A and B are shown apart, each in its own frame.
Chain A
């Protein structure tokens, strides 16, 4: 575990993209990627929530779960932390910035069930990251997810008036595009490796 946080940050965006190599956050990825604008909104929300909740969960794991020896309860605790944080953010944004709430707010409830966020926390625990590595990994994963959904939204916008076989419309073609994107991202895999 001697990897520098910056390398982990870059690797989380490109070589170990949370969506394209670990398949996390697929549900909202498939359903929200129709418009670039809403993809951007959701992407920003994911970056924000992933970074903060993963760091929160890092502290929860190291300073609450381990000392109290209740690691077996970890899933419930993480979910509560994520849900509570999302709820809290929603309330704060609503008060402080109605404009931001208007663009970001509608995506926040979707995030609680986004497995990317929960997944990043679990990977962080399993790979035993240090604090700085956790920050790099969480931010990188969020940005990587946003990159993937923006790229897909861009492609789907171009695809709107193209002919697509009936059986492939909707989810089918989206999955194929994602597969091709994943192929392209494999090209990065020689650069840096994290596991």
Chain B
């Protein structure tokens, strides 16, 4: 497979969120504002790419039975880098994301990609795969947060776009809407796929 194929497969055709229903926790939690989603997406992409790269590099030397633990520790190290970076340069954002930065460690996407791809492929391919999966994840996050922020606050990236006539839908800021939005997204994608498949 060429690098481009790996990227496209990881980002869209096998998108972790809507194809494999992985990494739902943070997808739901940070999508009330686009800014949070973007930062979260970038953080996850960074961790994915580098942890994939590292795990792939040491894949021949890790014994099978401690593999999971080794992967978790590698992932945790990169998450700590992201956490410290956010605390130093974007303290407000770090506060807003709260525990969800640390929770990148238990984000199933990262473990999933490490197991499914990095444990079997070369470091460079794994790196590309990580970036692809990260981009796909960020894409979903931005899509959901776009709708939620627009209808919930009347803003996009914090800038007012709706006029005075607009009444904010406060439900969109609260938890249930996150579930509904993701369900609708999955519905649209699976529905169109079923139709294209001639079912």
Contacts and interface: CB of A to CB of B under 8 A. Distances in A.
A1 B193 CA distance: 51
A83 B69 contact: yes
A86 to B, nearest CB: 11
A24 B103 contact: yes
A22 B29 CA distance: 6
A24 B25 contact: yes
Interface stretch (A71-79, A95-103, A133-141): A71-79
A118 B84 contact: no
Nearest to B171: A183
Contacts of B86: none
Contacts of B28: 23, 26
Interface in B60-109: 68-69, 72-73, 76-77, 79-80, 83-84, 98-99, 102-103, 105-108
A122 B84 CA distance: 15
Size category of the B interface is 35 or more
B175 interface: yes
Interface stretch (B4-12, B123-131, B147-155, B176-184): B176-184
Interface string B39-76: 00000000000000000000000000000110011001
B186 A23 contact: no
Nearest to B174: A186
Interface string B3-38: 000000000000000000110111011000000000
Given A113-B108, A175-B182, A25 B25 contact: yes
Given A23-B29, A167-B188, A167-B194, A175 B106 contact: no
A176 B183 contact: yes
**Interface SS majority for chain A:** helix
B102 A23 contact: no
A119 interface: yes
Given A167-B191, A167-B194, 20 more contacts: A27-B24, A75-B79, A75-B80, A75-B105, A76-B73, A76-B76, A114-B106, A115-B25, A115-B103, A122-B98, A122-B99, A167-B188, A168-B186, A168-B187, A168-B191, A172-B186, A175-B182, A178-B179, A179-B183, A182-B179
Interface of A: 20-27, 30, 72-76, 79-80, 83, 112-115, 118-119, 122-123, 126, 165-173, 175-176, 178-180, 182-183, 186
21 contacts: A23-B26, A23-B175, A24-B25, A75-B76, A79-B76, A83-B69, A113-B106, A113-B111, A114-B106, A115-B107, A119-B99, A167-B186, A168-B183, A168-B187, A169-B190, A172-B183, A175-B186, A178-B179, A179-B177, A179-B179, A186-B176
Interface of B: 21-22, 24-26, 28-29, 68-69, 72-73, 76-77, 79-80, 83-84, 98-99, 102-103, 105-108, 111, 174-180, 182-183, 186-194, 199
